[in-house]
A and B are shown apart, each in its own frame.
Chain A
Amino acid sequence: MVAPPVLFLAVIIVYPALKAIWDTLAVQHVVLRHGGQVVERTLSLEVYQEIWNDPQARQSIAFSLRVTVITVLALFALCYPVAMYLRFTQSRVASMFRSLCLIPLFIPTIISAFAFISFYQQGNFLDVLLQDSHLESTVFGGQFPQLIDNTTGIVLAQVWNNIPITVLLLGAGLGEIDNALIESARDIGAGYPRIFISILFPLTLRQALIAFALAFIGVLGSYNIPDLLGPTAPQMLGPLMDQDVGLQKLLVAQGLAVITFGFAILVGLLYVVALARQRRR
C-alpha cells in the first residue's frame, strides 16, 4: 500500500539526485578504443574544478552564502521577539498579529516578488511616501535607495516569505515552556535578557534549529526571488543554475545543484550535532 508514493519518491526524486552526484563525479567522456568511439566514465573532480575556476560561479556561491546568512540573521532578529510577544500576550491584537504573520504562507513567491516591486521600486509607493520626508533626508541622504535588483530586495522578500514558518516553529517551542519557569526566574530577580539567554533560547533550541535549517536551505537554493529581485551580477545559485541549463552546460548546473545538496547536508548535520550536544547536557 505504501509502494506507490515510495516508488515515486525513489524514481523521481532520490534517483535523479543520486544520479547528479554520480554524473558529476564519474564524468563521461567519449574515448577512442579499439578503432571506435566509446563512452567511458572516469572518476574525477573536473566538474567541480571547472566551477571553482570560474570566477562567476565562485562569486555566486559566496554571494549566495552571504545573502543567506544575512537573511537568516534578520529573520530570527524579527521573529524571536514577535514569537515571544505572541506567546506572552493574550489579547485580540495579538491574535490579529498571529493571523497577520501567517499571510505570506498563502502567497506564492512570484506574486510576493511582484508585490515587492510595486512597493519598494524607486518611483513606487514607499519612495513616494518618504519623498521629501525627514527620514529620507537623514537616513537615505535625500534619495530613495535602490532596493530592487539589489541584495536588500532579496533579503527583504526572503524574510517576508519565511516569517510564517519561523514564527510558527518558534511559537510552538515557546508554547511548550511552562509559565511557572519564567515566573520563578523573575522572582529571583532575573531580567528579560537573562531569561531569554538562560531559559527561552535553550528550551526552544530544537524548533529554532529546524527553523534555521529550513530558512537557510530555502534561501540558499531559491530561484524566484533572486531572479526577480536580485542583481544581474553576482547571481545567486538558483538563477545561475538556470542560466547554465540555458547555455547547455548541464553538467555544470548539476555540479552546482550537488553543491547546494552539500550545504543542505551540512546544515542537517549541524542540526543533529547541536541537538545531541544539548541532550547530553
Chain B
Amino acid sequence: MAQVTVGGRIRPSREARSLGVLLGGFKWIALAALAIFILGPLLVMTIWAFESEWTGNSLLPQSWTLHWWPDVWNLTGIIDSIKLSLETAAVVMFCSTLMCLPAAYAFARFRFFGRQTLLLIFLASNAFPKFGLYISILTFFYQINFVQTFQGIVAIQMVETLLFMIWIPATAFQNIDRGLEEAALDMGCSRVGTFLRITLPLAAPAIAVAMLLSFVAALDESQGTLIVGLPHYKTMPLIMYDAVNSYAQPEGAVFALMLSIPSLLLLVVAQILARGRGVRILGAA
C-alpha cells in the first residue's frame, strides 16, 4: 500500500517512505557515479600533465612539475603540426563562411523549389557514417590528385563544417525582426544598406559562433585528415594518434590539453555571446 489513512489524512505508508529514502540515497550514489564517469578520465589526464613522479600505488603523483609543457615543444613535428592545423582551420573557416553565408540567407528568407529537400540532404549527409564517407571521398581524391595536398585536407575538413555554417546563420537570419528592416527601407535606406547596417549586425553573434565552431571543427578533424593527409601532412590531431601510442604519458597529456583549449574557448565564447543576446545555449530547460 502506497498510502494509508491515519487520522483522516492520507500519508505515505512506512513502506513507501523507506522506499523513498532508499531511492533518494541511490540517486545521490548514481549522480556521483555519473560525475566520476564523465569527469574522471579528463581529470586524471590533466593530472598526468603536471606529474613529476608518479609510481606504484599512489592515487596522486608524488611530486608535481611544469617541465612537460616546454618539453612538448621539442618533440619532432609539433611546431609544424600546429602551424598546419591553424592554417587549414583558418582557410576552412573562411571558405566555409564565404560559401555558406549567402546560402544561409537564401534558406532563411526565400521560398525556393527544393528548399526542404536540400536542407534534409545536408542533414542526412551529416548523419551518414563519417568514416565510410571519407573512404569513398579518398578514392575520388586519388582520381583528382587531391590526396596528400593542402586543398585535399581543406576540402575534407569542410565536410564537417558545412551543416552548421548553413544552419546556425540561417536560424539567426530567420529570427531577425523584419519590422526593423522594413523601417529602415521606409526611411530610405537601400536594400544593401539595410543588410549591412541592420541585418548583419543583428545576426553577427550567431555567425561569429558558427565561424568559431567551424574553426574548431576543422582544427579537431582527425579521421578525414588521417587518410587524406598522411604521411606528408600532419595536423595536431594526427600527432595525437602518435601520442597515444608512443609518447610518454605526460607529454601526451600536455598535448591533449593543448588541443582541447580551442574547444573550451569556443564553449566560453559561445556562452558569452549567447548570453549577451539573452539566449542560452547550455543549460536550456
Contact = CB atoms under 8 A, between A and B. Distances in A.
A260 B133 CA distance: 9
A3 to B, nearest CB: 8
A196 interface: no
Contacts of A237: 131-132
Given A109-B222, A114-B256, A103 B136 contact: no
A120 B222 CA distance: 23
Contact of A23 (B139, B155, B263): B139
B283 to A, nearest CB: 5
Contact of A116 (B41, B226, B252): B41
Interface string A86-122: 0000000101011111111011111111111111100
B103 A2 contact: yes
B34 interface: yes
B100 to A, nearest CB: 5
A107 B260 contact: yes
B77 to A, nearest CB: 16
A175 B285 contact: yes
Interface stretch (A30-38, A49-57, A213-221): A213-221
Interface residues of B, number: 75
A224 B282 CA distance: 27
Contacts of A102: 282
Nearest to A98: B283
B159 interface: yes
A245 B135 contact: yes
Main secondary structure of the interface of A (DSSP, over half): helix
Contacts of B229: none
Contacts, number: 218
B84 interface: no
A1 interface: yes
A128 B60 CA distance: 10
A102 to B, nearest CB: 6
Interface string A15-45: 1110110010000000000000000000000
A170 B100 CA distance: 30
B155 A12 contact: yes
Interface size class, chain A: 35 or more
Given A16-B136, A19-B139, A257-B135, A2 B106 contact: yes
A93 to B, nearest CB: 7
A111 B162 contact: no
Interface in A65-88: 78, 81-82, 85
Given A98-B283, A107-B42, A260 B129 contact: yes
A160 B162 contact: no
Interface stretch (A134-142, A201-209, A248-256): A248-256
Interface stretch (B68-76, B190-198, B201-209, B237-245): B237-245
A2 B35 CA distance: 44
Nearest to A78: B34
Contacts of A111: 45, 240, 256, 259-260
B178 interface: no
Given A95-B283, A128-B57, A221 B237 contact: no
Given A1-B105, A13-B159, A17-B133, A6 B118 contact: yes
Given A12-B155, A222-B131, A256-B132, 14 more contacts: A4-B99, A8-B158, A16-B137, A20-B135, A93-B31, A108-B222, A111-B240, A118-B249, A119-B45, A224-B223, A250-B142, A257-B135, A260-B131, A268-B127
Interface of B: 27, 30-31, 34-35, 37-42, 44-45, 48, 57-59, 98-100, 102-103, 105-107, 112, 118, 121-122, 124-125, 127-133, 135-140, 142, 155-156, 158-159, 162, 165-166, 220, 222-223, 226-227, 237, 240-241, 243-244, 249, 252-253, 256, 259-260, 263-264, 266-267, 282-283, 285
8 contacts: A5-B99, A5-B165, A23-B139, A97-B34, A98-B282, A119-B40, A221-B131, A257-B136
Interface of A: 1-6, 8-9, 12-17, 19-20, 23, 78, 81-82, 85, 93, 95, 97-104, 106-120, 124-126, 128-129, 131, 160, 163, 175, 213-214, 217-218, 220-224, 228, 237-238, 241-242, 245, 250, 253-254, 256-261, 263-264, 268
